[in-house]
């Protein structure tokens, strides 16, 4: 059995890509099962419910398993035991990570806005049909990763994939669906500070330093009013657990910018890496992958 799995703190792309690749492989006569590397978030639940799909089971440890990775190829972000797994495939849209393989491997990494856009291309390449429900969840993953086309990571290919998938899924108002999703994601009332920080969180190994970057994408940052201290405390805890720095992007998808929280050994780190700034607000900052991680890697690497 091959397990198809995305990164820890699974986002909708990691969940929906695992399901979509599993379906494509099934049509190609290869037995796979979709798994997740942790509990899924409210947005992913909303998506799977909307299109009547089941939540994949959690895989706790990948040791000795055959694995296809989606939406990541960094050991620091993957399921536990990945070092001891047999990685047989990777479909991803991030920089190539540090996973090592022991068998010939099928890899497709492309600089697009979402793994599901790449998978849409794979279905087309193999001339396989995408069902209505699979099209629906893939469409939602692209809307999520591209922040309804606003992220600088979004490409024409992502837009085209959304148009095709919306037709198959019978979704008329794509942007309306995107806003509905982000409103679900923004409902942070009653969510603990820990869950807010860890909900979409990634660790990176940068030149031997461990750096964490989380992101919250909200339709209005007012929803976090009065909670900054709690969030910083949680980040402090992560830092004390062997990290050099921890960042949290509080991204306002309507104002199209980010309030960047930072906890590190070096007090002026945020300003040093991202520029002088009094209140921590960075206009136009939307993407961890394109606007935050490269600058940190340049600094630490
Ligand atoms: Mg992801
Ligand atoms: Mg992704
Ligand atoms: Mg994201």
Fold of domain 193-300: Diaminopimelate Epimerase; Chain A, domain 1 (3.10.310)
Could you say which of 3.30.365.10, 3.40.50.150, 3.90.1640.10, 3.30.70.270 is the CATH number of the domain covering 2-183?
3.90.1640.10
Q: How far is CA 153 from CA 83, 177, 193, 218, in A?
A: 29, 20, 28, 18
What distance in Å separates the CA atoms of residue 16 and residue 37, rounded to the nearest whole number?
Answer: 13
Separation between Cα atoms, residue 47 and residue 53, nearest integer Å: 8
* Phi/psi of residue 201, nearest 5 degrees: -125, 140
* CA 140 / ligand 1 centre spacing (Å): 13
108 alpha carbon – ligand 3 mean position (Å): 19
**β-sheet bridge partners, residue 68:** 4, 89
What pLDDT score was predicted for residue 94?
96
Interval between CA 175 and ligand 1 midpoint (Å)? 20
Are 202 and 239 contacting, i.e. CB atoms less than 8 angstroms apart? no
Q: Which ligand sits nearest to residue 289's alpha carbon?
A: 3
Q: What is the DSSP string of 212-271?
A: EEEEEEES-GGGGTT-HHHHHHHHHHHHHTT-SEEEEEEEETTTTEEEEEEEESSTTHHH
Please give the distance, rounded to the nearest whole angstrom, from the Cα atom of residue 14 to the centre of ligand 1. Answer: 5
142: nearest Cα among 173, 170, 175, 109: 175
Q: Which residues are in the CB-under-5-Å shell of ion ligand 2?
A: 13, 71, 115, 145
Task: Report the residue count for the chain.
Answer: 301
From ligand 1's centre to the CA of 139, what distance in Å? 15
Cα of 72 from ligand 2 centre, angstroms:
8
Which residue stretches of the chain have pLDDT < 70? none
pLDDT, one tens digit per residue, over 75-126 is 999 999 999 999 999 999 999 999 999 899 999 999 999 999 999 999 999 9
Residue 213, CA distances (Å) to 13, 105, 130 in order: 17, 29, 34
SS3 297: helix
What spacing in Å lies between the alpha carbon of 145 and ligand 3's midpoint? 5
Model pTM score: 0.93
What are the boundaries of each domain within the chain?
A: 2-183, 193-300
Tokens, residue 138: 């893939």
- Whether the CB-CB separation of 206 and 294 falls below 8 Å is answered with no
Of residues 263, 261, 175, the one with CA closest to residue 219: 175
Whole-number pLDDT of residue 227: 95
Q: What is the CA(287)–ligand 3 centre distance, in A?
A: 8
Strands 57-58 and 32-36: parallel
> CA 90 to CA 68: how far, in whole Å?
6
Asked if the domains at 2-183 and 193-300 fall in one CATH topology, the answer is no
């Amino acid at each position: 059995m091959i397990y198809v799995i995305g990164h820890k703190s699974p986002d909708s792309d990691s969940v929906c890509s695992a399901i979509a690749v599993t379906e494509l492989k099934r049509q190609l006569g290869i037995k796979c099962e979709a798994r997740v590397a942790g509990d899924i978030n409210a947005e992913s639940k909303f998506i799977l419910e909307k299109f009547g799909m089941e939540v994949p089971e959690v895989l706790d440890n990948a040791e000795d398993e055959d694995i296809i990775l989606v939406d990541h190829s960094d050991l620091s972000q993957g399921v536990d035991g990945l070092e001891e797994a047999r990685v047989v495939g990777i479909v991803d849209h991030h920089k190539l990570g540090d996973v090592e393989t022991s068998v010939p491997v099928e890899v497709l990494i492309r600089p697009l806005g979402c793994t599901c856009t790449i998978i849409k291309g794979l279905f087309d390449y193999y001339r396989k049909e995408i069902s209505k429900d699979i099209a629906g969840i893939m469409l939602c993953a692209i809307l999520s990763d591209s922040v309804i086309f606003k992220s600088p990571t979004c490409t024409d290919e992502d837009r085209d994939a959304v148009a095709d998938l919306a037709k198959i899924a019978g979704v008329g108002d794509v942007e309306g669906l995107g806003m509905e999703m982000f409103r679900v994601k923004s409902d942070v009332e009653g969510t603990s500070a820990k869950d807010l920080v860890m909900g979409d969180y990634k660790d990176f190994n940068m030149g031997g330093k461990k750096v964490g970057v989380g992101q919250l994408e909200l339709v209005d940052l007012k929803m976090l009013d009065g909670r900054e201290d709690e969030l910083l405390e949680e980040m402090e805890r992560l830092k004390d657990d062997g990290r050099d720095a921890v960042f949290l992007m509080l991204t306002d998808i309507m104002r199209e910018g980010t309030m960047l929280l930072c906890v590190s050994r070096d007090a002026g780190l945020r300003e040093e890496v991202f520029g002088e700034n009094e209140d921590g607000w960075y206009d136009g900052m939307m993407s961890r992958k394109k606007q935050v991680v490269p600058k940190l890697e340049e600094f630490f690497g």
